């Protein structure tokens, strides 16, 4: 897994940023739990995820996404990770009395477990219920400085308006407003971004016309964030 320092160029390479708050979500708001971890082999990861899926089903949760972390960019000082999962729950997971059993058993088979939880908004006709195994994912973690919230929203609108005119554009799938965390310092938000395929992402990033977007992303991060992290991933479902 490759880990690099965040730059204006890497911000675009890793999938850019557009805040999900600017879109209209069609799904009822539930609880999202984003997990990061490291395993020693694909076999261990597969068994750990299969067990997790069965356990969380009894807690009224659904495993929506899971797979490999391919690269990490940014200034979040997280331990080395190579796997992820995304749960959708009807109630808080970390405050559930049964979650400690699940976490304990997960830690027996995986390393560097981190969990991030909060209310989740979904986008598109089916949201997370739609298969994502063909998509190229970016999970962006952000901390806002909150020095100019109104200007921040205006900058996001400007960025979205430009991105929406481009071919092979990245899209928002979900947005987690984080209120709890385990195993790492709590970020303000997690945005789930994706390209329709690896190839569409490569075409988007290679298009010289998108240099304007690169510059706007860099300006946004510099003006409104205290830190940001991008986790580039491939989901199995």
pLDDT at 79: 85
Higher pLDDT, 175 or 4: 175
Q: 121, 85, 81: which is closest to 102 by C-alpha?
A: 85
pLDDT at 1: 53
Q: Are 26 and 125 in contact (CB under 8 A)?
A: yes
pLDDT at 124: 81
Q: How many domains does the chain have?
A: 1
Q: 35, 58, 34: which is closest to 45 by C-alpha?
A: 35
Mean confidence (pLDDT) of the chain: 88
Q: Where does the pLDDT of residue 16 fall: very low under 50, low under 70, confident under 90, or very high at 90 and above?
A: very low
Q: Where does the pLDDT of residue 40 fall: very low under 50, low under 70, confident under 90, or very high at 90 and above?
A: very high
Q: How many CB atoms lie within 10 A of CB 161?
A: 10
Q: Where does the pLDDT of residue 159 fall: very low under 50, low under 70, confident under 90, or very high at 90 and above?
A: very high
CATH number at residue 84: 3.30.70.100
pLDDT at 5: 43
- Does this model's pTM top 0.75? My answer is yes
Q: Which domain holds residue 227?
A: 2-235
In the predicted structure, residue 153 carries a pLDDT above the cut 70: yes
Q: 97, 102, 142, 101: which is closest to 118 by C-alpha?
A: 142
Q: Give pairs for 147-152: CB < 8 Å, separation 24+.
A: 147/224, 148/223, 148/224, 151/223, 151/224, 152/220, 152/223, 152/224
Region 134-142 average pLDDT: 97
Cα–Cα dist 197/184, whole Å: 30
Residue with tokens 């970016």: 138
Higher pLDDT, 100 or 15: 100
Q: Where does the pLDDT of residue 47 fall: very low under 50, low under 70, confident under 90, or very high at 90 and above?
A: very high
Torsion region of 127: left, alpha or beta (phi above 0 gives left; psi -120 to 50 gives alpha): left
What pairs with residue 184 in β-bridges? none
DSSP 8-state class, residue 55:
H
Q: Are 191 and 140 in contact (CB under 8 A)?
A: yes
Q: Where does the pLDDT of residue 17 fall: very low under 50, low under 70, confident under 90, or very high at 90 and above?
A: very low
In the predicted structure, residue 12 carries a pLDDT above the cut 80: no
In the predicted structure, residue 42 carries a pLDDT above the cut 90: yes
pLDDT at 28: 59
């Amino acid at each position: 897994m490759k880990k690099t320092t965040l730059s204006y160029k890497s911000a675009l390479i890793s999938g850019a940023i557009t805040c999900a708050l600017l879109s209209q979500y069609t799904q009822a708001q539930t609880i999202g739990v984003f997990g990061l971890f490291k395993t020693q082999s694909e076999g261990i990861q597969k068994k750990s995820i299969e067990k997790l899926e069965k356990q969380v089903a009894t807690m009224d949760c659904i495993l929506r996404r899971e797979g490999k972390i391919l690269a990490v960019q940014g200034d979040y000082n997280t331990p080395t990770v190579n796997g992820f999962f995304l749960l959708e729950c009807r109630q808080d997971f970390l405050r559930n009395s049964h979650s400690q059993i699940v976490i304990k058993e997960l830690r027996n088979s995986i390393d560097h477990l981190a969990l991030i939880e909060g209310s989740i908004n979904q986008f598109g006709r089916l949201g997370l219920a739609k298969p994502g195994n063909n998509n190229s994912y970016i999970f962006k973690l952000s901390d806002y400085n909150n020095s100019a919230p109104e200007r921040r929203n205006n900058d996001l609108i400007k960025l979205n308006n430009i991105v929406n005119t481009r071919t092979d554009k990245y899209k928002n799938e979900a947005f987690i407003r984080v209120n709890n965390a385990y195993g790492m310092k709590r970020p303000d938000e997690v945005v789930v971004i994706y390209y329709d395929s690896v190839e569409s992402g490569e075409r988007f990033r290679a298009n010289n016309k998108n240099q304007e977007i690169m510059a706007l992303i860099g300006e946004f991060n510099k003006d409104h964030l205290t830190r940001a992290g991008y986790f580039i991933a491939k989901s199995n479902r």
